[in-house]
A and B are shown apart, each in its own frame.
Chain A
């Protein structure tokens, strides 16, 4: 095995081990997180949805789970489980849209689990998880009427989007609905920064589970993420100094 691959495998293995250890430790003493306005807004919006009988729309974007872009959608899925349980009790349960077949099935399955966990007597409606289009613009075009026609009071956009996300944020603004949005795509983040008051930038997207009480493993992975970030910063800093000194 090449040394570089061995180091990479070691890092992945150590990170996994770190998550397990951190999950045990955070169970004893949960860490305090900094305030992220978008997550605060989502919590407020969810309580509003239950109280005023409006609906929550969660958009998972179009990142295929077979590609690295699927990770952002997985962060969204972990959030659906939490939000789904709360909003399933309301008169109008939440709707999830996505732009990928696998993601759509995963979203329906997650919604069904949240529905089953609450033992609601009404049968689960599979149309609560909808695939609205398979290309970026067809996905956005398909999601627009859903945002308009279903008495949506809050849109949570969390997943992989391109600049077409501006069409969704604009539609939400037009309908007077609250919006919280995040994407792993850089141009989409720039668009979201400009178009939404509380966009999640960079890796904040992956903190969705930890901020929504999805369990110790979510908090642990956030802790490990922070440790890894400091390691990267230290490596870059040391590398820059060594380069300046002419060591390599």
Chain B
């Protein structure tokens, strides 16, 4: 029975996938409309999945609070914040409170994490020279320094034209060329991964 259900899911998923793919290439109203309908369904299901995921997050942290594990107080804080956010989100007429929650709590916290990230990245760059001394590392560090020197107007020095020109060559010719090469590779990888799923070789919906 399980095998039959699994085969049924696979046929359904592959058919839907092929129809959505064909919708991108064949411009007939029937296929295009069906593709849009399938995508609409997928978006709705993704919303439900996000809700299930939040439920999972709630359950994990509730378990941590119950078991009094290390850091359970943070889990409790998360649960309380989650319930407050839920209440403010679903109660009509509390739009101002929602904006305050977003602009006064969430965005500043994410920005402070971004600031922390800047420090982490500087530290990582310094550590890189020590942990992996190689020509590539040197090239990496020189490129970073060149980009920094050529980007802005520096105190006392102003805009140094030589560095700005070098930065332009690095960023617009060398880096852009390299980036396009990497992106072509990623695109080919994406294509073959998608094809594996359309062929039923990979079944993320059936655990295979």
CB of A127 within 8 A of CB of B191, answer no
Q: Which residue of B lies closest to A132 (CB)?
A: B57
A126 to chain B, nearest CB (A): 7
Q: Which residue, A102, A132, A228, A232, has most C-beta atoms of chain B within 10 A? A: A102
CB of B113 within 8 A of CB of A16, answer no
CB of A71 within 8 A of CB of B193, answer yes
Within 8 A of A (CB), among B38-84: 39, 42-43, 45-54, 56-57, 59-60, 63, 69-71, 74
B125 is an interface residue with CB less than 8 A from chain A: yes
Contacting residue for B204 out of A19, A74, A135, A137, CB 8 A: A74
Contacting residues, chain B, for A5 (C-beta < 8 A): 24-27
B121 is an interface residue with CB less than 8 A from chain A: yes
Contacting residue for A221 out of B21, B43, B195, CB 8 A: B195
Give Cα A2 to B181, complex, Å: 27
A155 is an interface residue with CB less than 8 A from chain B: no
A178 is an interface residue with CB less than 8 A from chain B: no
Count residues of A near B (Cβ-Cβ below 8 Å): 81
B196 is an interface residue with CB less than 8 A from chain A: yes
CB of A66 within 8 A of CB of B192, answer no
B188 is an interface residue with CB less than 8 A from chain A: yes
Size category, B interface: 35 or more
Contacting residue for B186 out of A8, A113, A203, CB 8 A: A203
CB of A225 within 8 A of CB of B53, answer no
CB of B25 within 8 A of CB of A8, answer yes
B190 is an interface residue with CB less than 8 A from chain A: yes
B158 to chain A, nearest CB (A): 28
B174 to chain A, nearest CB (A): 14
Chain A interface, DSSP helix/strand/loop, else mixed: helix
Q: Mark A144-156, 1 if CB is under 8 A from B, else 0.
A: 0100010000000
- Given the interface pairs A66-B46, A163-B117, A186-B182, the reply to whether A221 lies near B192 with Cβ below 8 Å is yes
Give me 30 A-to-B residue pairs in the complex whose CB atoms sit less than 8 angstroms apart, sorted by A's number: A1-B27, A5-B25, A15-B191, A15-B195, A16-B195, A16-B198, A16-B199, A74-B202, A101-B50, A101-B51, A112-B207, A113-B207, A126-B56, A127-B63, A130-B57, A134-B53, A137-B109, A149-B70, A164-B117, A166-B121, A167-B113, A169-B124, A184-B190, A186-B182, A197-B131, A203-B185, A217-B196, A218-B196, A221-B195, A224-B192
Q: Which residues in A have some Cβ–Cβ distance to B below 8 Å?
A: 1-2, 5-6, 8-9, 12, 15-16, 19-20, 23, 64-66, 68, 71-72, 74-75, 77-78, 81, 100-102, 104-106, 108-110, 112-114, 126-127, 129-135, 137-138, 140-142, 145, 149, 163-164, 166-167, 169-170, 184, 186, 189, 191, 193-195, 197, 201-203, 205-206, 209, 215, 217-218, 221-222, 224-225, 228-229, 232
Q: A131-B54, A134-B53 are known contacts; what are 7 more A-B pairs with Cβ within 8 Å?
A: A9-B25, A74-B204, A101-B47, A113-B208, A131-B56, A202-B182, A202-B186
